[in-house]
Chain A
Amino acid sequence: MSNFWQNFVKIAWRVPPVRLYSSTGYKSAISLENLYPGSSLKLTTPKPPNQEQEKFTGYIPIEELDITYSRSTGPGGQNVNKVNTKVEIKFHVNKATWINEDIKIKLAEKFKNKITKEGFAIFRSDLTRSQQLNLADCLEKIRASVRSCEIEETKPPEETEEKIRRRLERASRERLALKRGRSQVKSDRQAPQ
Chain B
Amino acid sequence: MGSNSTEKALSILRYLPRCKKRGRGQHGGDKHGAGNKGSGQRQNYMRLGYETGNNPFYLRFPHEPYYQGHHLRRQYPPLSMLELQTLIDTNRIDPTKPIDLVAILNTGLYKLFPDQKQFGVHLTDEGADVFKTKVNIEVQWANEIVIAAIERAGGVITTAYFDQHSLQAMLNTKKFFERGVPIPRRMMPPPDAIEYYSDPDKRGYLADPEKISQQRLVLAQKFGYLLPKIEEDPEYEMLLERKDPRQIFYGLHPGWVVNLKDKVILKPEEQELQRYYAS
Contacts and interface: CB of A to CB of B under 8 A. Distances in A.
Contacts of A155: none
Contacts of A2: none
Interface string B181-218: 00001001000000000000000001011101110110
Interface residues of A, number: 48
A67 B257 CA distance: 55
B222 interface: yes
A7 B273 contact: yes
Nearest to B205: A32
B166 interface: no
Contact of B251 (A22, A46, A136): A22
Contacts of A48: 217
Interface of B: 97-98, 125, 128-129, 145, 148-149, 156, 185, 188, 206, 208-210, 212-214, 216-217, 220-231, 238-242, 244-247, 250-254, 257-258, 263-270, 273, 278-279
Given A131-B129, A139-B222, A44 B245 contact: no
A138 B129 CA distance: 17
17 contacts: A9-B267, A15-B265, A21-B97, A21-B251, A23-B241, A26-B244, A26-B246, A28-B278, A36-B208, A40-B209, A40-B210, A41-B210, A46-B213, A59-B221, A62-B225, A130-B128, A136-B223
Contact of B188 (A21, A30, A32, A136): A30
Given A20-B250, A138-B224, A28 B210 contact: no
Contacts of A58: 221
A172 to B, nearest CB: 50
B226 A42 contact: no
B101 to A, nearest CB: 14
A135 B247 contact: no
A75 B239 CA distance: 42
A45 B244 contact: no
B31 to A, nearest CB: 61
A11 B264 contact: yes
Contacts, number: 146
Contacts of A26: 244, 246-247, 253-254, 278
Contact of B247 (A28, A40, A139): A28
Nearest to B229: A45
B270 A7 contact: yes
A132 interface: yes
A42 to B, nearest CB: 6
A63 interface: yes
Contacts of B238: 21
Contacts of A32: 206, 208-209, 242, 245
B244 A28 contact: yes
Contacts of B268: 7-8
Q: What 4 pairs across the A-B complex have the smallest Cβ distances? A: A28-B246, A26-B253, A8-B266, A21-B250
Contacts of A15: 258, 263, 265
A130 B146 CA distance: 13
A28 B221 contact: no
A133 B266 CA distance: 51
Interface in A1-33: 5, 7-15, 20-24, 26-32
B279 A28 contact: yes
A16 to B, nearest CB: 9
Among the interface residues A10, A21, A130, which one has the most CB atoms of the partner chain B within 10 A?
A21
B65 to A, nearest CB: 35
A35 interface: yes
Contact of B278 (A5, A29, A136): A29
Nearest to A135: B224
